[in-house]
Structure formats: structure tokens, C-alpha cells
Structure 1
């Protein structure tokens, strides 16, 4: 009753539950004659707009924070008509799942701030799509007006994202309409860029690649693809490279240990269906910034942790996962494999089974024994490796240890996966086979020519400094990208390709589910789908087998009628355990990829870049190390790594392992540094 008549100006109009009930069952005139209440609006941050006078006190937003997001950021104070919803924890709502409160609000009290006053619900047409930002493959409804993406909503999928979306999936669409979008092909001549037509650009690329191919050897050409690219784009890039005689193609840009190559029984994946996470009673998460890397997977694990399942964590950073944790062990990156080895040995002792002979010299600590006891007491157990584990300098050893642990427990092991096609890249053949160079070697041993697909080496590579140096030394760098970037400094050709909303394609998520989608809007300007660009490039170079008319034709050629489930297998064959504890003296860097800097689209989503998670990176150290260095929180410090350095603000983290510096990667402030893990030094500026 005490609700304002805001329908003509309310963003919820046309999709409001209260409006529907009032129209369906209400009277044509109100009997309410008292003065209506007015509640001051709160600024909850850059994502949620508030009109709290419209609030009907259903407390759905409060319950969502408590029950799903893991922290009650909103709460209700006061009684009766003086009751109101406000932020409890801080002044803003900072959850990575906060946008779901907008969907849950039955009235217009909480609405989308980026979408505010831009369109009416009935003006929008919806298209089904799939999120490219993480390995879950959340199902989306992309809402379009006049060939422009205006809003993204969740498409219910019980097996994947249920009815939720992470804020990264929901608000990243702003990056699709960024002013940095490339719209025309460009060539660099005499150090200056000029726009050309597609024919001239592709003929120049084809001619130069052919010259390098025959003047030197085909192996002097390398290709790097983003794991956020579609299955078809990766497949055609790999086919183009192999048709030219080079096997130097890779999508694992942030990986540093490739010793498992050639020893895999199949394609690495989660090891189970996502829905099966709910049946686990014991879980060990190794090396994962879980909440930020995989927000909705974290939500699933949060639910089972509340239902007496035990979640154990072995990691290098003590992030709050907002769930009950049975045991948490935080160690230096160099100690991560050794600690996991202790867990393996302790489980072998508990189960009275033989441990690998290579672990005989390891003594088991109390923390590792506690994790082992938890896992050994379970019936349905999983060991899950996160992004940090996959990017670790001894990533293959971590995988081998996880395999041993799962075998001892009679459980399963797998990878969360970094991006939409971390599984699809393997299936598409976008990895080097015998004799080819992997992503790391391609940069450490510079090539004469590079093809970059949706890749920004400054932010997407394990060692950005080495990547930039390799690009600068090449005769030809072709950047197939949707955006202008620092690639303009070292590229010779910029080919505008479209993001996922402007092309058809396929993503294969972490559980091996192949999801195809169509474009939601037409390509912007003269930008074209990357699979078409690669097809025409193959034709111009007179390479056989580039006559595709659709992405379906590409997909059918690669997969045929084969069930891809038969190719999914995490086992390693013939990889020996060789654990290196590393030096105990030098400072070690721990690098995470911030949630809103993981790919080119989110890096350009304006509202996400105004959130707390998008603040400039700080170098976090422990209080003892800060005291030793003579610095305090807020000081400007110089972080050196190899030949590179970055000047950033210092932060204090009491839970950080001794002798470690946590400093984010994939950011312009840290792009001049070296690998994501390795020795660093810190000093006051």
C-alpha cells in the first residue's frame, strides 16, 4: 500500500511483480489517504542503483547475501514504517554475485545502475548466449536494442549456473560497446597507422607470411590464441599454422610448466559434472582464488560446506572463501608441491597403502595430516586444482600428486579451468604436438612472425615482459583483436575481429559440455568474425581445406559424430615425481589475476572498473617482512623482478606466508614485471 506511483519512470516497469499483481487483482483507485513515506537512497556502488522508497521489505536481497553469497552485506534496521534496508558490512555492496539482488528484487528498489534509464523491457529483444569469461559457461540472455547490447540476464540452467550470474558475466557487456573497439583494418607504415580495406590488409598478411615461411623456415611463425576464443576460431588458427608447416600454436598463455605435454592420457577437465559437486562429502581445493576466479562454482561448494561436507584448502593466499573450511594450509608457492606430497603420504599411511617411492624422504606435518584425516574419512572425495595450480612453475607435479591422492582415496581429481575454452582449446588442437613450441618457449625463443588471436600479451601472458620483448623483435605481428591496445606499439597489422555477441561459435566448459551459440547483434563497423578472417587468409595463401561456409562446418569437421566425453581424461602417464622446494631465502611473488582484468572485454567494462575489485594493485607483504623492510601500509614501494620494475602502494596481509609478496598480474601497473611466480625484491621509493 505504502508504495510510490513511480511506474512511469521506474526501470522495473514491465517486469515488476508488484505491478503485475496490482493490475491483475487491484482496484482502479487506492483507498490509502495517509502521507506516503520517503526513504533516502543509498549509494551501494557502481553496479546497483537504489530507490529505497519503493522497497516492500521482502528481504530477499538480505537472504541472498546470507544464504548464497556467503556474507550479509545488506540488512534491515528499524521497525514498522521506519524499517529500511542498508549496507551492513561496508558502505557499498562488493560481492562478486551482487547483481543477482537486482533479479530477486520484486519491485524497483534495486535496479541495474549501468542499465538505468537506457531502455524499456518491451523494447528489448533477447538472444540466448554463453558467457566467455570463465570455465563454467553460464547461460545468458543478451538483450538487444537497435543492434546494441543493452543488458545481460541469466538464462536458467540447473546443471550450470542455475538461475544466477556473476557480476563479471552480467555487467561485462559494457566492454562490448567500448570506444576502444577496432572497426577497420589498419597497417603500420613508417611507424604510422593507416586504415585500409580488408583485401589490402589480408593480402599484406598473406604475402608477408609466405615470404617469412620460404625465406627462413615455417617454424619461424608462431601463433598465440586466447582461451576465451571460440572453439572454431582456435581450430582454424591451428589448421592455418599446420598448413603453413608450423606447429607453434598454443592457447595456454598463463601456463609456465609444460612438462606434462606428451604424457596426457586425454584432455584435462573438471573430472566430473558440475551438478555432481553437490554430492561430494570431502573436497580438497589446491591453488585457487576460488571466489574471484569461479564465483558460481564457489557458491556451489559453499552450499555443500553448509551441509556437513568438509572443504579443505591448500593455497598460497588466505582469501576469505565465505564458507566453513575444515582445514586451510597457506604456504609459499615453492612449498606448494611439497605440502601436497605430505598430504599424499599421510593419506597413504591412513589407508595403509603404499605411497610413491619419491615421497619417502618427506616428513608429514600436522597441518598436512589434518587435511589427510579429513579426506580419508570421506566416501565421495574430489581433489580440484585451481588457476594458480595450473599456472604454477611445478604445475605438472601438482597434477601428478593430485592423481596419486585421488587414487589413494578412490576419488576424482580435475581442474576448474581458467577460461571458456580451457577444455575446448585442447579439443580444437590449438596446442603444439611433437616438435612444436609451447606458449612459453614461443616467447623465450622469439619468432620472426606472430599471429595473435584475441590476445593482449601485456596482460594475458605468464611473463609479459618477455612477451613484449619477443613481439618487438619480430618482423611481423598480426593482431586479430576486437580492441585497440598496447599491441599498437609492436604490431604491424591490426585486424578487427568481433567479440562473442557478434559471431556464432562454441565453448566447451570445464565439465566437457559443448555449448554453441549465435551472434546477438551485427558486427560493429567493418569488424568480422575471426573464423571468417582465418578462412579467407587460408584461401589467399592457397592452403587446402579452407572452404567453410559456417561455424557448424568447422565444428563438424573437428568433432564429427564423436562423443567428446571419451577424450576427457586427466591422467598423466610416465611423468616422474621430481619435487623442488626452491630457495628459502629470496622473496617469492604470488600473482593472481583480478576478477575484472582476466580478458579484453571485462578490462573495458566501465562499471566493473569502478568496483573495489578493480582498484590499482597493491604489493601485499606480511607484517614481519614490512618491519624488516622498514615500510608500512600506504607507502609507495618499488618491486623489482628481473629487469622489470613497478612502483605500487604497499599493503599488509597478516595471513600471507613468510617471504612472499602478493602482487596482481594482468594489469597495466604490473605489466613491466616478469613471470607470475618467481623471485622479487621490494624497497621503499
Structure 2
């Protein structure tokens, strides 16, 4: 006869346990440490992490257990001991404390006494627990072991002598990142953690090993020796290099941003942060940062002759340009990472000046269907519950790293992932089926019977449409085909917004009623306002952009006074980046998230909404009467705009189709100026990659230099050869000056 449950009123999948005399219900199959954490009862641990598999190798969480009046003969690891009905757990009795103190003594045997120079000092789990569980003297008299460090790249610093072999970093790279780059080598006292081959970490999530490391073995190389944790002030902010909007804290010392760390949000980024969001703050302190208003004096070569000006003079000059060139003579071009506050004011500015030439879709070539950003039909947190996922036109691992990680979680739970792409991009999960075709054939591939059969029988099909498709020459056809496929498969269409706040700007009506971004540049206006844009790298067609802007009067709200901005602008108004701004952004789920001003503004720069408020006041426009941020936010509301559909782009004839993806660390001005990210192995530099048969036809070999040209321009690029590229396509990454010259469409490739 089976024993009766201690509490018969509990659900059948729960049991009753007693921890330090506290009665509680716990799910069957869960571990003691789960129940204790839920009840707020502390149990020391090192190897356990609630997002990683259980390793039970540090033994710091040893507790005393008792069942049916019989005590276990030896302490049990709380992280690996399942609960059972009537189980009694003692975390603080003599038996448990003695075991925990003995484990701590063993952990400290080889640990160096270098806390004063360790970057983890002040926020070290080993330091904290040794205070409570460590002995005042060591009985170990032998020599401590020393482990040679290896260079893990420009982001993560190593001091592996401090490592306590908790294997959190090993499990992170294997289970979450999916790159299996770290492991344990040798055995016993000689066990050490490393990469084995001595190569840098290549995962786009490598900085998270710093967060999971409980000691000072893995630390932030960019932050190293710059400040102590108790000197830092934390400010809530957001990642703005993709549409996920990862939650993070910026840590400041005397107003300077020292580092970024993740802020937990299970619905967005869980407890992780991509390297792009973690290290981009380096770009805040670039040499060409815009710090003071600049006014063009006279033309002197491409960049012109500039002088510093007061804010009053610069705003008066900008206002005069806008007064002289209102209505249809004016175009307003906005970076898609611009905040809601600034976007709302730009829409008011355009309306007050009588122009319908307003757009934030500056990197998209095909707007012939009038498409704007839409929120995910399946929230990010639910993507991992899908049983079939179709990735269309996206290098997802580089485009939205933590969305890629969600897809990996779905795959680990049994989901089948299918891919329709012009390049067989590298993913951290197995692909059930793939169609690698030239960009013009992506829409046809979505309508194939093979793909329809591949997802047949799936209960939850999630289609993810990314930047390669959205920004390409055939975007409208691919969007229509993806929507049709999702409908036929009874699935959801999830289009990744092309910009950190593309969805928010679309809601606020930062959209054209007359000319879209492409039309504004193809049919040059007499004057432009550009906001947050680096003109030489951020547009879909750089040649057309530089030509149109170069022949007009331009008011530039800019984070950087770079060469391309100086070449086209007449007035440069220095504004804050998001890390220095009070701002609201809408992420790909439609979630409105706020960042607070963190880093101090450089020089005489100002928050963008304040500059726009001053300019609107100078022009005497309605809607600029507020006096503070609260007043501005109170007046912001969604605007329905009848978006003007654009002209279909002409891809041209002959040659190879250009397949363009974003270089992971070249997506905006801040990442391009982060030295550590530019030194990362994933920053491969400008190049063109061809299918072997196309390279052979052009007489090109691996590493050779090729001249790549089309109607937009010509680039001389190093050649890569890979059968991962679809025949008939040439793959380049955007964000580099060399590849920016090509625009879109077809290209001719020949030996340089």
C-alpha cells in the first residue's frame, strides 16, 4: 500500500516539503534549491544557475535531509536532489554548515589571494560566501596551482588561476549560445577551463560568460581596471541596435558610462545581453563625436569649412533654412532608432512646415507596397513554444541575437526550423529543410510545395521575416508571399522591424504622405532635415543619398560630426544618443519601454527633444509650447497616416543578384566606433562572397581582389568563395564604406 500524502489537498503534481521547519508545496520533479529559492530561504551555490542545466559539481549547496524520521547518511546537493512528499531539509544545522564550510575550504585551496586587484572585487560570489562560510586560516600548506591564461578575444578578459571549475561558462556556450567553445581539459587538480584551440570566442553572446562567472576568472576586458562596483551608479536603459530592445543597466562613474549589464526581463531578453548591446557604449567617446553646434562657412573640398557656433546662432541658421525651403521643397529623413519623443516632434515639424516628405524607412529599397513596421504576431517569449519556425531572408543570429537564442530554445524543445535565404547563414541549431536561392526567387520558394509539406501537421508555425528580405529589391513580393504562406499554414507572420524604434515611429506617423525616403533622394529636394543619420552609411542607396543631400541645404541633428555629415550638412546640431537620453521606444512586440538619461552629454550637446523644441519655438510652429518632458509626453498620441506607396525599384539586367545582410557590429554609428567590437572575429571587413561556379566563371579565386559594380557605384572588394551562397548571387555585408557604394540590384563582378 502506498503512503498517504502529507497534505491531501495539494494538486496531484505537487508534494509537501519542510525546509528549516517551513512547510511548503513544491512541484514533483523539482529540486530542493528550487523550493528554497521560491520560499526565500538562502542556500549557497556556485555552479547552479536557473537558466542552465544542473551540474552539481561545486557541492556548495550541500544540505541535510530527512525522510520518514530517518536522516540521510551524508549531506545532499540541494541543486540535484529532487523533492519528495514529507521531505525535511535543514540548510543551517551543524551537519549542513560543516559540509558547506568544508567545501568552501577546498574551493579556496588554490584560489589566489588577489582580491585587491581583481575586477570582480566587490561583486564576487566567492568573496561574499567566503565571508559567511570561510575559515579564518587555511590548513593547506602546499603550493597553489597556477593556470596559464589564454586570449579569448577583445571582449572577455581571463585570469583562469581564479577559476573554481563551476562550469557555468561551459554550459552557457553549449546550451544557450550553442557554440560549444569552452570545455574542461585534463582531470583532478589539473582540470582547467578553456577553448582548447586557443582561439577567441566567436559567439555573439560571449559577454554573458562574465555575468555567469561567480569569481574573477572571466571579466569585462573593456571595463578592466577602470572602476570599482561601489563607485558606480546604475541607470536603466535599453539596447537600441536591434528591434528587441534588450533591457540593461548602464553603470556610470562621474557621469561616464563604464559598462552595460543585463537587466532581467523574461518577456524580452531574460537575463542575457548581446555583445553588441554590452560593448557599444565605447562609441560614445569617439574622436568625431559631435560636441558643439557647427555652421558651414564656405565650401573647401568635400567636407567644407566649418566653425563652431552658439546654440542661438546654429538654431537661427537652421530655422532660416527651413523657412526658405518649406512645403514640398523640404524632406525629413529620420533614423529608425529615433525615440518616440523625438519622432513625435519631427512629425509636428514636418506638418508645421507643410511637407509630406517624412520617412524613417531609410534602409529599405522596396516600399512599393507601402509597408510599415508591424509588431510580432507571436510575442518573443512565445516563439520558443512554436513547433515549426520558418526563417525568411534573415541572418537571424547577427540581426537579432537574442531572438535567435529563443529560436534555439524552441529547437531544443523539438521545434523544426526551416530556412528560405539567399545565403546558408550559420545558425546555432539544426535546420530541418532549407531553400538557398537568389533574392529574386525567395518569394517563389515560399510558395513551394516542399515548404508547405515541411510544416504540415505543425500546431504552431511562426514565420520570421528579416532584414535581407525587408531591405532587398524584392521586398514587397517577399512580404506578400510570406503573409500568404503564414495564412495557408495557419501560422503567424513576424516581420522584424528594421530599426530599434521602427514600430514606434510608424505608430506616431513618421511616414510619408507625399514622398518616401527613396523618392526624396531620387527626386532631390531643396533642403533636408536628417536626424540621427550617418549619411555615408545608413541609407539604402548611398550614391543617391550623398548626391541629393550634397546638392541641397541640410540641417543635421547628429551624434557624430563625421566626414560624410560634414560633406553634406550646412548646420550640425549635436544631440544625445539613447544612452544619454530620456526616451521611449517600442520593441518588436509593441512593448513601450523607457530609458533614462545616463551618461553625461559631451561638450555642448543636448537631448534631441530639447533641440527640436527650441527649433520649433524659433519657427513659431504649433505643438512646441510644452516646457518639460512630462508636457511633451502628455501630448504624444498615435497618428494614422495614409502612407504613400513608393515606386518599385529596378533591379537591372545581367550580372549577379546582390544579397545584402547587415554586418553585426556595423549597424549604426555607435557600434562602428566601438573599438572592441571592431576587433572582434565577427567583424570580417568588406568583402564579396560568391558561389564557386560564379567565381570560376569570373576567373576569381579565394582572397583575390574583384571590382564589383552596378548603376550605383563601384567597389573593390576581397573575394570569398563559398557554396553557402546561392548560385547567381553575390553576398556583401552593409555598414562598410566600401560596400555602401553598391546600393542594390544586380552587379557585375570581375578581377580588379
Task: State TM-score, norm by structure 2.
Answer: 0.82
Is 1:240 aligned to 2:327, yes or no? no
Distance (whole Å) between structure 1 residues aligned to residue 619 and residue 364 of structure 2: 31
Distance (whole Å) between structure 2 residues aligned to residue 574 and residue 181 of structure 1: 35
Is 1:679 aligned to 2:749, yes or no? no
The residue number in structure 2 matching 1:272 is 378
Q: Secondary structure at the match of 2:443?
A: helix
Between 1:278-287 and 1:83-92, the stretch displaced more is 83-92
Distance (whole Å) between structure 2 residues aligned to residue 559 and residue 170 of structure 1: 32
Q: Secondary structure at the match of 1:247?
A: coil
Deviations 1:411-448 (Å, cap 9, x if unpaired)? 21121223210101101211112xx1101111111111
Q: Secondary structure at the match of 2:128?
A: helix
Matches within 5 A, 1:441-480: 441-474=519-552, 476-480=553-557
Q: Which runs of 5+ in 1 are unaligned?
A: 347-368
Tell whether the 8 Å contact from 1:73 to 1:89 is kept in structure 2 after alignment: no
Q: Secondary structure at the match of 2:675?
A: coil
The residue number in structure 1 matching 2:194 is 86
Could you tell me which of 612, 620, 624 is aligned with 2:693? 624
Task: State TM-score, norm by structure 1.
Answer: 0.90
How many pairs are equivalent? 637
> Closer, same or farther in 2 for the Cα pair 1:315/1:90, shift >3 Å?
farther
Q: Secondary structure at the match of 1:312?
A: strand
How many angstroms does 1:548 deviate by? 2.2
Matches within 5 A, 1:70-469: 70-88=178-196, 91-191=199-299, 192-213=305-326, 218-261=327-370, 268-342=374-448, 346=449, 369=450, 371-433=451-513, 436-469=514-547
Could you tell me which of 535, 558, 572 is aligned with 1:494? 572
Larger radius of gyration: 2
Tell whether the 8 Å contact from 1:634 to 1:649 is kept in structure 2 after alignment: yes
Tell whether the 8 Å contact from 2:185 to 2:196 is kept in structure 1 after alignment: no
> Closer, same or farther in 2 for the Cα pair 1:520/1:260, shift >3 Å?
same
Deviations 1:536-566 (Å, cap 9, x if unpaired)? 1111111112012333433332238xxx9xx
Distance (whole Å) between structure 1 residues aligned to residue 643 and residue 442 of structure 2: 22
Tell whether the 8 Å contact from 2:452 to 2:489 is kept in structure 1 after alignment: no
Distance (whole Å) between structure 2 residues aligned to residue 402 and residue 424 of structure 1: 23
How many angstroms does 1:619 deviate by? 0.9
The residue number in structure 1 matching 2:598 is 520
Tell whether the 8 Å contact from 1:232 to 1:428 is kept in structure 2 after alignment: no
How many angstroms does 1:573 deviate by? 13
Deviations 1:274-302 (Å, cap 9, x if unpaired)? 11112211111111110000000000000
Q: Secondary structure at the match of 1:339?
A: helix
Q: Secondary structure at the match of 1:406?
A: helix
Is 1:586 aligned to 2:655, yes or no? yes
Q: Which runs of 5+ in 2 are unaligned?
A: 1-108, 300-304
> Closer, same or farther in 2 for the Cα pair 1:255/1:583, shift >3 Å?
closer
How many angstroms does 1:581 deviate by? 12
Could you tell me which of 550, 556, 561 is aligned with 1:484? 561
Could you tell me which of 696, 701, 707 is aligned with 1:638? 707
Tell whether the 8 Å contact from 1:626 to 1:632 is kept in structure 2 after alignment: yes
The residue number in structure 2 matching 1:662 is 731
Tell whether the 8 Å contact from 1:74 to 1:89 is kept in structure 2 after alignment: no
Tell whether the 8 Å contact from 1:338 to 1:579 is kept in structure 2 after alignment: no
> Closer, same or farther in 2 for the Cα pair 1:381/1:580, shift >3 Å?
farther
Distance (whole Å) between structure 2 residues aligned to residue 579 and residue 241 of structure 1: 25
Tell whether the 8 Å contact from 1:73 to 1:90 is kept in structure 2 after alignment: no
Distance (whole Å) between structure 2 residues aligned to residue 628 and residue 93 of structure 1: 36
Could you tell me which of 586, 590, 597 is aligned with 1:508? 586
Deviations 1:229-285 (Å, cap 9, x if unpaired)? 111111111110111000111101111111222xx6x86121222111122111111
- RMSD (Å), alpha carbons: 2.2
Tell whether the 8 Å contact from 1:72 to 1:89 is kept in structure 2 after alignment: no
Q: Secondary structure at the match of 1:28?
A: coil
Is 1:602 aligned to 2:711, yes or no? no
Between 1:589-598 and 1:402-411, the stretch displaced more is 402-411
Q: Which has the bigger relative contact order, CA under 8 A and spacing at least 6?
A: 1
Deviations 1:202-229 (Å, cap 9, x if unpaired)? 001111221223xxxx111001111111
Could you tell me which of 652, 655, 678 is aligned with 2:721? 652
Tell whether the 8 Å contact from 2:392 to 2:421 is kept in structure 1 after alignment: yes
Deviations 1:594-650 (Å, cap 9, x if unpaired)? 011111111111111111122311111111122222221111111112251111211
Tell whether the 8 Å contact from 1:52 to 1:109 is kept in structure 2 after alignment: yes
Q: Secondary structure at the match of 1:601?
A: helix
Deviations 1:485-518 (Å, cap 9, x if unpaired)? 1211121111100111222010000000001221
Distance (whole Å) between structure 2 residues aligned to residue 383 and residue 208 of structure 1: 46
Matches within 5 A, 1:8-87: 8-87=116-195
Tell whether the 8 Å contact from 1:142 to 1:152 is kept in structure 2 after alignment: yes
